[in-house]
Structure 1
């Protein structure tokens, strides 16, 4: 089986899953506050809408257990096929969902259920995509391979945001709120179909096949994980929590923050986000490749340190004009967070043995993501009380990053713990 097809399969599915997930996030501020959570107080409408946004994050640990079990017992490929079906089906149903004006409270209730399905599906997608790439990687380029599925986040986010922006520009305000916003959600059905077709043509990863052939499969992966590898799960949660809050802000809440509190136009906010994501497209594979030569822990620690140092300056500068906003998005999101995220999947996966790797990797990561996913609720309340204060918002981010930095300092030197025979010399990249 060609390595290039495996990488494409891990990336294609990841892009589409994140397209659907972030499409919802963009639609939250643009559409759902009006059509599904109408209220005379805009702040309350926004708060209610972000509750459903956070619900998707809260559901991700459920998906990590469900699909982790499937991935560690049946196979990585099987689990990834079901995550696509769950995400695609729920997104298409959102596209045909009646509004509050049409069916009353049933509309937001069904929307929450569909958002939960999205979260459950994504909870199993991320870990599976990482393992599909890293467990199929030749020795010496595991970091590069593990970085490729991470490209799905910036590509999916930009695609989701751009699709709504494009439809908005081609329709009147009335048309967009009536039917235009539904088109990107319905389009996800076609994209999911293509991703399923791509993934159906790949084989199981060599590491899982070897594990299955040995007969040493975990009977109940989540139980074995919590029994034998609970320290690694807690380590992943702690290492992720710091950059997790920053990530949710600079890739989602920033659209609301800059338009509502700094008066930037929606186009300016989306441009800043796009600049950061475009920079990540370069940072992620480059740093992924470098991490095969330099200890991934060093890169990770360096990225967290820079985020800590720049937390207050970031919130100070983004309010001083769109030029500063664009520059900070490029540096903080595109370069620094992109470097952290590039190494994250490979770094975390190396903490777990193959028999519970899907479960351990997914549970740790998604629990941290679930906690960070409720950041918008906290920040909305903070902004109502303190405004867009750099000290308040920057201090909040620094608190989370301090936890991750402490764990990073105290953690063992584990960047190649599972791949001791990997040489540090450059390898020819073989995609055949």
Structure 2
């Protein structure tokens, strides 16, 4: 059984890494490549704004994916849904690597880019929730926080892989070569990664929780309707809980590259190094805090993380402009430690709010609706930066508003370590 659970965790993590590799590869390429090759404009700010609009489209599409794959995940099975999300994500990324540029085909280029980004968003909208459930529904009793943190590692690992691949290619090519063909290589490499992940996931069984629902005949006909009928309050709870750290996350993992290079004067290498440091720190933080949450509870960690991010919001924006050392340190603290701690508990905390028959749908829809909102943060911040510059008060104040909302809502969430929908029927399988 231990070997079986180890493979399940590896399947959950490997697919998550590849999905986020594809998603954040696009985010990294947005400011470096797409704003020039697909959205050329005499005003660089307008080209950047248009490029980040397509970045936001990927986030906006994620709720659609959460409904589609949540439906399949709650009716047909977690494994089946997760196989489909991999194909959608990897296939669209591979095709992005083949796209002609605006110079070659005109408006067709950005239109095709947006369509493929939509497919990416839809696929990712179903991936995250399924990966979390693959881990948590196999978790032994008392270790659900640790197991639920494993697929969360896919975010920093995928981002590092995506940004690192572009960095390596840019180092090995001239600027002209990179813009001409070098940037395409990491996207084309997605095909190899997806085949590997499909092979890994094909060798696992369905989760015990879903098997039990199927055997007892408790599969619901329309999961999205059932979710809002009996668990609508928890869906909105998840949305509110995610907004605070979500906006900061998108900034720390995506917009920081533009903010640091375009408005603070850092070079691309320094900005990417800071991002990599934050992600490397997170790789350590996530499993440690996930394990700790099994002893002190998800709620305590979540509220503490939100409070500390609130306190450090304005200092973060103040210090990152005072030299690259501060940029590196603050990325490590805010992204690697504080956001990493919050994120490590999210999958487990949110999944514990929903019963098994709508868990995939409820978890995914709430999380991805919040993601759709925060995904347009870069468009807002580009406008803010053009109007106010890199103002710590403006940017820090923006983050503090949503962190406050999430903190207030977190007060009313139960301590799911003690009160959880998992224990109602999973006691006998948790100790397997």
TM range (shorter): over 0.9
How far 1:277 sits from its partner (Å)? 0.4
**TM-score, structure 1 normalization:** 0.97
What root-mean-square deviation, in Å, do the aligned CA atoms of Structure 1 and Structure 2 show?
1.4
How many angstroms apart in 2 are the aligned matches of 1:367 and 1:254? 23
How many angstroms apart in 2 are the aligned matches of 1:312 and 1:406? 20
| Farther off after superposition, 412-421 or 91-100 | 412-421
For 2:72, the equivalent position in structure 1 comes to: 70
How far 1:177 sits from its partner (Å)? 1.0
Kept after mapping to 1: 8 A contact 2:13/2:154: yes
How far 1:174 sits from its partner (Å)? 1.2
Among 78, 81, 86, the alignment partner of 2:83 is 81
1:42-88 CA deviation, whole Å, 9 max, x = no partner?
A: 00000000000000000000000000000000000000000000001
The verdict on how the C-alpha distance between 1:161 and 1:407 changes in structure 2, with shifts beyond 3 A counting, is same
Question: SS of the counterpart of 2:189?
Answer: helix
| Farther off after superposition, 163-172 or 348-357 | 163-172
Kept after mapping to 1: 8 A contact 2:299/2:414: no
For 1:46, the equivalent position in structure 2 comes to: 48
- 2:8 is equivalent to residue 6 of structure 1: yes
How many angstroms apart in 2 are the aligned matches of 1:417 and 1:211? 20
For 2:427, the equivalent position in structure 1 comes to: none
For 1:338, the equivalent position in structure 2 comes to: 340
How many angstroms apart in 1 are the aligned matches of 2:128 and 2:104? 36
Question: SS of the counterpart of 1:292?
Answer: helix
How many angstroms apart in 2 are the aligned matches of 1:392 and 1:105? 35
For 2:97, the equivalent position in structure 1 comes to: 95
For 1:202, the equivalent position in structure 2 comes to: 204
For 2:391, the equivalent position in structure 1 comes to: 389
Q: How does 1:211-222 map to 2 (within 5 A)?
A: 211-222=213-224
For 1:426, the equivalent position in structure 2 comes to: none
Among 128, 136, 139, the alignment partner of 1:137 is 139
Q: How many residues align?
A: 425
Among 243, 247, 250, the alignment partner of 1:248 is 250
- 2:188 is equivalent to residue 186 of structure 1: yes
Question: SS of the counterpart of 1:229?
Answer: helix
For 2:126, the equivalent position in structure 1 comes to: 124
Among 354, 357, 374, the alignment partner of 2:356 is 354
1:253-307 CA deviation, whole Å, 9 max, x = no partner?
A: 0000011111111110011001110001110000000011011101100000000
How far 1:178 sits from its partner (Å)? 1.0
How far 1:181 sits from its partner (Å)? 0.6
1:347-372 CA deviation, whole Å, 9 max, x = no partner?
A: 00000000000000000000001100
How many angstroms apart in 2 are the aligned matches of 1:110 and 1:415? 45
| Farther off after superposition, 171-180 or 11-20 | 171-180
How many angstroms apart in 2 are the aligned matches of 1:255 and 1:177? 18
How many angstroms apart in 1 are the aligned matches of 2:343 and 2:262? 28
**TM-score, structure 2 normalization:** 0.97
Kept after mapping to 2: 8 A contact 1:247/1:337: yes
Among 401, 404, 407, the alignment partner of 2:403 is 401
For 2:370, the equivalent position in structure 1 comes to: 368
How far 1:96 sits from its partner (Å)? 0.4
How far 1:421 sits from its partner (Å)? 6.1
For 1:425, the equivalent position in structure 2 comes to: none
How far 1:184 sits from its partner (Å)? 0.3
How far 1:229 sits from its partner (Å)? 0.4
How many angstroms apart in 1 are the aligned matches of 2:182 and 2:420? 49
Q: How does 1:51-62 map to 2 (within 5 A)?
A: 51-62=53-64
Kept after mapping to 2: 8 A contact 1:208/1:354: yes
How far 1:413 sits from its partner (Å)? 3.4
For 2:179, the equivalent position in structure 1 comes to: 177
Question: SS of the counterpart of 1:291?
Answer: helix
How far 1:420 sits from its partner (Å)? 8.0
1:130-153 CA deviation, whole Å, 9 max, x = no partner?
A: 000000011110000000000000
How far 1:19 sits from its partner (Å)? 0.1
How many angstroms apart in 2 are the aligned matches of 1:419 and 1:59? 28
How many angstroms apart in 1 are the aligned matches of 2:29 and 2:160? 13
Among 284, 287, 290, the alignment partner of 1:285 is 287
How many angstroms apart in 1 are the aligned matches of 2:422 and 2:229? 25
Flag as ranges the 4+ runs of structure 1 deviating above 4 A. 419-422
How many angstroms apart in 2 are the aligned matches of 1:181 and 1:339? 32
The verdict on how the C-alpha distance between 1:346 and 1:188 changes in structure 2, with shifts beyond 3 A counting, is same
Kept after mapping to 2: 8 A contact 1:350/1:416: no
For 2:29, the equivalent position in structure 1 comes to: 27
For 1:109, the equivalent position in structure 2 comes to: 111
Among 252, 274, 280, the alignment partner of 1:272 is 274
Q: How does 1:406-425 map to 2 (within 5 A)?
A: 406-418=408-420
How many angstroms apart in 1 are the aligned matches of 2:66 and 2:257? 28
